[in-house]
Amino acid sequence: MIVKTAEFICSNTQISKLPPPVKAEYAFIGRSNVGKSSLINMLTAKKGLAKTSQTPGKTQLINHFFINDSWYIVDLPGYGYARASKTNKANWNKFIHNYLDKRESLQCVMVLIDSRLEPQKIDLEFCNWLGEKGLSFVLVFTKADKQSSVKTDQNIAKFKKSLTETFEEFPQYFVTSSELQSGRDEILGFIDNINKSFVIPHFEPRD
């Protein structure tokens, strides 16, 4: 897929104000600082589209970016921000779970995992939650340029081992580096494929 246009549409704090669910939509999510904004900028080839390295854990916004006038990238707030209060974390859970669970046009959740790290409990728990809800997701291992490919593969293997304690099959995954622009064609190709069979879902009109 060639990305011709990528346009910021809106930031929302309320699920009820999201754009109508009539376009295929892909949600990007992961721990704060995992490289989500960098990845979105890399995929769209627009440097400042999603802002990188903002103070994490502050904003709880669902950002919609419209790609090629046909589908959405959705930038979700990062989870696992160490210094967030308990109330903030609980609010995050409610807000994001609500969006993920209810969004009719959501095609796939792109779960970003830092490829430098051993499996993190919070990532595994989030994947398990997605599995319980029957939501389709793929894993995107980020920052692969930061270590050798051997190390990256080892961490992926460990993640696989941990996840297959609860999942029968390991989900599809991508290895990326926003620095080196790697993994871009693979992710865009994956999205393009799903877009081809997208049909507008049934949804309750809002007033």
Ligand X SMILES: Nc1nc2c(ncn2[C@@H]2O[C@H](COP(=O)(O)OP(=O)(O)O)[C@@H](O)[C@H]2O)c(=O)[nH]1
Question: Which residues would be at the binding site for Mg ion (CB under 5 A)?
Answer: 36-37
Least distance in Å: CB of 164 to ligand X? 26
Instruction: Please name the residues in contact with 132: beta carbons below 8 A apart, sequence gap of 6 or more.
Output: none
Near ligand X by CB under 6 A, which window of 86-94, 149-157, 173-181, 194-202? 173-181
Look at residue 35 and give the partner it binds from Mg ion, ligand X, none, a contact being a CB closer than 5 to 8 Å depending on partner kind. ligand X
35 near ligand X, judged by CB under 6 A: yes
Q: Is 184 near ligand X (CB under 6 A)?
A: no
Among 78, 99, 106, 139, binds ligand X (CB under 6 A): 78
CB-wise, 50 or 191, nearer to ligand X?
Answer: 50
Out of 146, 170, 186, 190, name the contact with ligand X by CB under 6 A: 146
* Nearest distance in Å: CB 50, ligand X: 7
Q: Which is nearer to ligand X, 21 or 40 (CB)?
A: 40
- State which residue, 103 or 184, has the beta carbon closest to ligand X: 184
44 binds, among ligand X, Mg ion, none (CB under 5 to 8 A by kind): none
* Per-residue H/E/C for the chain: CCCCCEEEEEEECCHHHCCCCCCEEEEEEEECCCCHHHHHHHHHCCCCCCCCCCCCCCCCCEEEEEECCCEEEEECCCECCCCCCHHHHHHHHHHHHHHHHHCCCEEEEEEEEECCCCCCHHHHHHHHHHHHHCCCEEEEEECHHHCCHHHHHHHHHHHHHHHCCCCCCCCCEEECECCCCECHHHHHHHHHHHHHCCCCCCCCCCC
Exposed / middle / buried, residue 34 (Cβ in 10 Å: 0-12, 13-18, 19+): buried
Assess 34 for contact with ligand X (CB under 6 A). yes
Q: Which is nearer to ligand X, 21 or 114 (CB)?
A: 114
Beta pairing, strands 71-75 & 173-175: unpaired
Q: How far is the CB of 129 from ligand X (least distance, A)?
A: 19
Binding site for ligand X (CB under 6 A): 32-38, 52-53, 56, 78, 142-143, 145-146, 177-179
